[in-house]
Amino acid sequence: MSWFSESIMALRGVAKGISGETHSLTEQAQGEYHYLYSPYNKPVLTVDPGAVIVAETHDAFYGKIQHESDRPSEIIKFPFVNPQNGPIYINGAEKGDTIAVYIKKIEPRGEQPRGTTLIQPGFGGLVPTPDTAMITPPLPELIRKLEVTVERGTKWNENLYLPYEPFIGTIGTSPEIEAISSLVPDYYGGNMDLPDVAPDAVIYLPVSVEGAYLYLGDCHATQGDGEICGTALEHPSVTTVQVDLIKGWSIKTPRLENRTFYMSIGSTRPMEDATRMAYLDLIHWLSKDFGFDEIDAYMLLTQVGRVRLGNMVDPKYTVGASIQKTFAGALRLP
Show contacts with a second copy in window 170-209 (CB under 8 A).
175-181
Which DSSP string corresponds to 219-232?
Answer: EES---TB-TTS--
**Sole binder of a second copy in the list 16, 272, 288, 289 (CB under 8 A):** 272
Q: Could you count the other beta carbons within 10 Å of the beta carbon of residue 331?
A: 12
Q: Rank residues 50 and 153 by Cβ distance to a second copy and give the closer one.
A: 153
Fill in the per-residue mask, 84 to 113: x = in contact with a second copy (CB under 8 A), - = not in contact.
------------------------------
Tell me which DSSP letter residue 296 carries. H
The answer to the question of residue 301 lying near a second copy (CB under 8 A) is yes
The answer to the question of residue 299 lying near a second copy (CB under 8 A) is yes
**Sole binder of a second copy in the list 81, 312, 314, 318 (CB under 8 A):** 312
Q: Rank residues 94 and 272 by Cβ distance to a second copy and give the closer one.
A: 272
Q: Rank residues 28 and 136 by Cβ distance to a second copy and give the closer one.
A: 136
For the CB of residue 124, give the shortest distance to a second copy in the complex, in Å.
Answer: 8
The answer to the question of residue 286 lying near a second copy (CB under 8 A) is no
Question: Using CA atoms, how far apart are residues 197 and 117, in angstroms rounded to an integer?
Answer: 20
Which DSSP string corresponds to 44-82?
Answer: SEEE-TT-EEEEEE--TTTT----TTS-HHHH--TTS-S
Task: Please list, in sequence order, all residues whose beta carbon lies within 8 angstroms of the beta carbon of residue 140, skipping any fewer than 6 positions away.
Answer: 119
Region of residue 331 (left: phi > 0; alpha: psi -120 to 50; beta: else): alpha
For the CB of residue 45, give the shortest distance to a second copy in the complex, in Å.
Answer: 22
Question: Using CA atoms, how far apart are residues 254 and 257, in angstroms rounded to an integer?
Answer: 10
Question: Using CA atoms, how far apart are residues 5 and 210, in angstroms rounded to an integer?
Answer: 27
The answer to the question of residue 1 lying near a second copy (CB under 8 A) is no
For the CB of residue 24, give the shortest distance to a second copy in the complex, in Å.
Answer: 28
> What's at 240, amino acid-wise?
T
The answer to the question of residue 290 lying near a second copy (CB under 8 A) is no
Angle in degrees, CA 35, 89, 47, rounded to 5: 130
The Cα diameter of the chain in Å comes to 63
The answer to the question of residue 277 lying near a second copy (CB under 8 A) is yes
Q: Which of residues 19-78 bind a second copy (CB under 8 A)?
A: 35-36, 38, 40
The answer to the question of residue 275 lying near a second copy (CB under 8 A) is yes
Q: Which of residues 122-151 bind a second copy (CB under 8 A)?
A: 125-128, 130-139, 142, 144
Residue burial 2-30, b: 16+ Cβ < 10 Å; e: rest: eebeebbbbebbbbebeeeeebebeeeeb
Question: Using CA atoms, how far apart are residues 156 and 278, in angstroms rounded to an integer?
Answer: 33
**Sole binder of a second copy in the list 266, 285, 314, 318 (CB under 8 A):** 266
For the CB of residue 236, give the shortest distance to a second copy in the complex, in Å.
Answer: 17
For the CB of residue 228, give the shortest distance to a second copy in the complex, in Å.
Answer: 5
**Sole binder of a second copy in the list 252, 259, 260, 289 (CB under 8 A):** 252
End-to-end CA distance of the chain: 21
**Sole binder of a second copy in the list 43, 228, 290, 325 (CB under 8 A):** 228
Going by C-alpha positions, the residue among 44, 73, 77 that lies closest to residue 62 is 77
Binding-residue total with a second copy (CB under 8 A) = 84
The answer to the question of residue 309 lying near a second copy (CB under 8 A) is yes
